[in-house]
Structure 1
Amino acid sequence: MALKVYYDLMSQPSRAVYMFLKLNKIPFEDKVLALRKGEHFTEEYARINPFKLVPVIDDNGFVLTESVAILKYLACKYNVPDHWYPRTDLRAQAKIDEYCNWQHLNTRGSAAMLFRELLIIPRAKNQPIDMGKVEKYRKLVRKAVTGIETHFLKSQPFLCGNDISIADILGACELIQLYAVQEENLYESSPTVKAWMQRVRERHQSVFDESSKMVYRAHDVTKSSLGSNL
């Protein structure tokens, strides 16, 4: 039975899992959910994931609901190149775990909320953008970018060392979400982080761009409605 993957490419963690699968040529059955249509709120999907979020994998009846756990499971099961998530080098593995744990309340906790405040919440509730909250999350994004620059990257090319890992695709997928709402200056203002983002993209550009196509589309749509003076 094929590995089933439930996802929406507008979801940052979904993109990371999708990208990992594509890069490592792991076969899977697409189970695309349109979050904008509320397809993740159906009773049928709630039986698969009671949290009603994406991504989710169903590996022959084994269901896993968290993107970091999914990536580690896939890396180990499919024996992918060791740079993604080292199996025997415990220190290298721990550095990846360090970023994956840190990112929830930092890279993801700030960038995802800024995206929601600028695009999702105003459209869903048909109300003006709350600039107080926008400024709050901009400040948190800047703090996260500083953390990425000074603690994780320092003088190395990738977040956890000299080669790309699951940490890099998780981090890049979170920050590229800001491009969708004209806020990419928040990470591009750091030459170190900007260069790292470009490095991740160029490493696997065709898959990165395919995974990010909905982000690029959203960028074009919001260009007229969200200006630099926002």
Structure 2
Amino acid sequence: MAAGRFVEVYLDLLSQPCRAVHILLDRTGIPQRVRSVALRKGEHRSPEFTELNPLQKVPVMVDNGFVLTESDAILKYLATKYNIPEHWYPRQPERRARVDEYTAWHHSNTRPHAATVFILEVLVPAQTGSQVDEGRLTRALSQLDGTLDNLESMFLRRQPFLCGDDITVADLLAICELMQPVGGGRDVLQQRPQLQRWRSRVQAAVGDSFDRAHAVLYGVRDRRKAKL
């Protein structure tokens, strides 16, 4: 990267995809400037941000005037363009296809199912003052269990990471989603030793970047716990 150049990213670290982007940037040392966009304050609906991303969603990346939205695209762009270890998004076609296979599946499975648990248990009660809808939560947890079964049987199988022997951007997207219910004090991997070991390997692979990205989520958990 040319001297003085940096990637500008617009993030809210309560957002799972934003955390995945943050971890990759932090861990790989790609020069970056983080712009905070507080979704809870409606900052994503400001005229300035809407001009940047008319869809009014985070994350957004700006690299030398090139604007890119969607975490999956941002992660793969960064891993392709910048001089970071190849394992994040392998160049070898079959290994890269394994990452693409997971990320295509992710958006209809891991992402919505883990997010729904957090929405029902934390966001809806916080925004409306209502009690948790236990019936809907039970159904959401059942759907998430099916996703966790598939993660174990289809993607992890006997390998240490979702797409092979080393960490990739697929692991970042997945772990950030599965951490989201922690904001409500719920560890959805508690009864899943295989996935717990995978989570530990991901944390070891990214080091302190993991907790830095999740500090906001831990804060939500701790404040909620203090009120109970």
TM-score (norm 2): 0.94
Match of 2:195 in 1: 193
The residue matched to 2:34 in structure 1 has which SS? strand
When the two chains are superposed, the root-mean-square deviation of aligned CA atoms in Å is: 1.3
Match of 2:177 in 1: 174
Could you tell me which runs of 5 or more consecutive residues in structure 1 were left unpaired when the two chains were aligned: none
Structure 1 residue 182, shift from structure 2 partner: 1.8
Distance in 2 separating the partners of 1:123 and 1:223: 13
Match of 2:143 in 1: 140
| Amino acid in the other structure paired with 1:2 | F
| Amino acid in the other structure paired with 1:203 | A
Of residues 80, 90, 96 in structure 1, which corresponds to 2:99?
96
Structure 1 residue 195, shift from structure 2 partner: 0.7
Instruction: Note if 1:47 corresponds to 2:27.
Output: no
| Amino acid in the other structure paired with 2:204 | E
The residue matched to 2:35 in structure 1 has which SS? strand
Of residues 50, 65, 69 in structure 1, which corresponds to 2:69?
65
Match of 2:115 in 1: 112
TM-score (norm 1): 0.93
Select between 53-62 and 160-169 the one with higher mean Cα deviation.
53-62
Distance in 1 separating the partners of 2:24 and 2:206: 10
| Amino acid in the other structure paired with 2:147 | A
The residue matched to 2:87 in structure 1 has which SS? coil
Quick check: 1:142–1:187 contact (8 Å CA) kept in 2?
no
Could you report, residue by residue, the CA deviation over 1:58-100 in whole angstroms, capped at 9, with x for unpaired residues? 112211110000000000110311100011x111001000110
Instruction: Note if 1:220 corresponds to 2:222.
Output: yes
Structure 1 residue 224, shift from structure 2 partner: 4.8
The residue matched to 2:61 in structure 1 has which SS? strand
Distance in 2 separating the partners of 1:46 and 1:102: 28
Match of 1:20 in 2: 24
Select between 194-203 and 128-137 the one with higher mean Cα deviation.
128-137
Paired residue total = 224
Match of 1:32 in 2: 36
Distance in 2 separating the partners of 1:94 and 1:100: 10
Distance in 2 separating the partners of 1:41 and 1:123: 21
The residue matched to 1:144 in structure 2 has which SS? helix
| Amino acid in the other structure paired with 1:168 | D
The residue matched to 1:30 in structure 2 has which SS? strand
Quick check: 1:111–1:141 contact (8 Å CA) kept in 2?
yes
Quick check: 1:7–1:31 contact (8 Å CA) kept in 2?
yes
Could you tell me which runs of 5 or more consecutive residues in structure 2 were left unpaired when the two chains were aligned: none
Quick check: 1:114–1:138 contact (8 Å CA) kept in 2?
yes
Distance in 2 separating the partners of 1:154 and 1:60: 41
Distance in 1 separating the partners of 2:44 and 2:134: 29
Structure 1 residue 213, shift from structure 2 partner: 0.6
The residue matched to 1:189 in structure 2 has which SS? coil
